[in-house]
Amino acid sequence: MSTQYAAYHQIACSIAKTVGAQIIKHRPTQVDKKGSKDLVSNLDTQAEKMIRDYLTLHTPDIPIYAEESGGAKTAQTRWIIDPIDGTTNFVQSIPHFAVSIALQLDGDIVVGVTYDPSKNELFSAQKGGGAWLNDSPIHCAPPCTLADAVLATGFPYDRATRADELLTLVKQFLIESRGIRRMGAATLDMAYLACGRVQGFWEVGLKPWDVAAGLLLIEEAGGVCREWNGSPLDIDQPMVLAANTPELWAVMQSIVQAKD
């Protein structure tokens, strides 16, 4: 693994695992709604504070942008934090959620860490240094056709007003792929693409903390992760389309573009 960003990588891995261990030992005692379907628990808030305090101690000159408390929204150098991605799963005792931390330097994501404490799976990447699951390097799945691909997706919180639009794509991909998985944590969907468990992923309505770590994981694992129109992914307003190979990505893009 590259040593250029090794210190930042170690910091992110250390706090992600510490916070993950804390989360897995407790159940939320308070659950509130940020929107009609968007939940936040007391442990989301506590986990985010733990991460903020640790990063502030070890990298005081780097501002933080986090899901629950906001922060450096427009900075080009910042830590980007999702303390618990998959809060609905967490609240429902479904063991599929993650702590996700990424470092953006001068506009580029250079460190990405996503930790699933339920399975003790630490996905991490450094720019130019590859992607890893715990201590083993990971790569996207070998080339395949869409008919042989398993895809992952999710639905935005405003889905009630966009159901027809969203389901049009689901229908097309359901017909043409091997299958679709809707697992409820975009950070893990992207990590699963990076390690070869799924071959494609698409989703709209995500936020920077949902995609920042996953973008680097996928790219360092040899995959493609871009906007639907083919431009580099805008993590601040992402319309994510990702695949294990450029060929599959192009086939998926033809389907999302046909929708329009």
Q: Which fold has domain 6-137?
A: Fructose-1,6-Bisphosphatase; Chain A, domain 1 (3.30.540)
Please indicate whether residue 2 or residue 136 has the higher confidence score (pLDDT). Answer: 136
Lowest mean pLDDT among 70-74, 78-82, 104-108, 201-205: 70-74
Where along the chain do the CATH 3.30.540.10 domains lie? 6-137
Whether CATH 3.40.190.80 fits 146-259: yes
At residue 68 the predicted structure's pLDDT band, cuts being 50, 70 and 90, is confident
Give the span between the Cα atoms of 33 and 257, in whole angstroms: 34
Per-residue confidence (pLDDT) for residue 41, from 0 to 100:
72
Where along the chain do the CATH 3.40.190.80 domains lie? 146-259
Q: Which two tokens stand for residue 55?
A: 């990063």
What's CA 169's distance to the chain center, in Å?
Answer: 21
Per-residue confidence (pLDDT) for residue 165, from 0 to 100:
76
Dump pLDDT digits (tens) for 12-60: 999 999 999 999 987 766 777 655 555 567 888 889 999 999 999 999 9
Please indicate whether residue 35 or residue 259 has the higher confidence score (pLDDT). Answer: 259
* Average pLDDT of every residue of the chain: 91
Give the span between the Cα atoms of 72 and 55, in whole angstroms: 14
Q: Which two tokens stand for residue 21?
A: 């261990």
Per-residue confidence (pLDDT) for residue 56, from 0 to 100:
96
Closest CA to 236 of 111, 71, 73, 68: 73
Give the span between the Cα atoms of 107 and 75, in whole angstroms: 8
Dump pLDDT digits (tens) for 139-172: 999 999 999 999 999 987 666 667 777 788 889 9
Q: Which residues contact 107 (CB under 8 A, 6 or more apart)?
A: 76
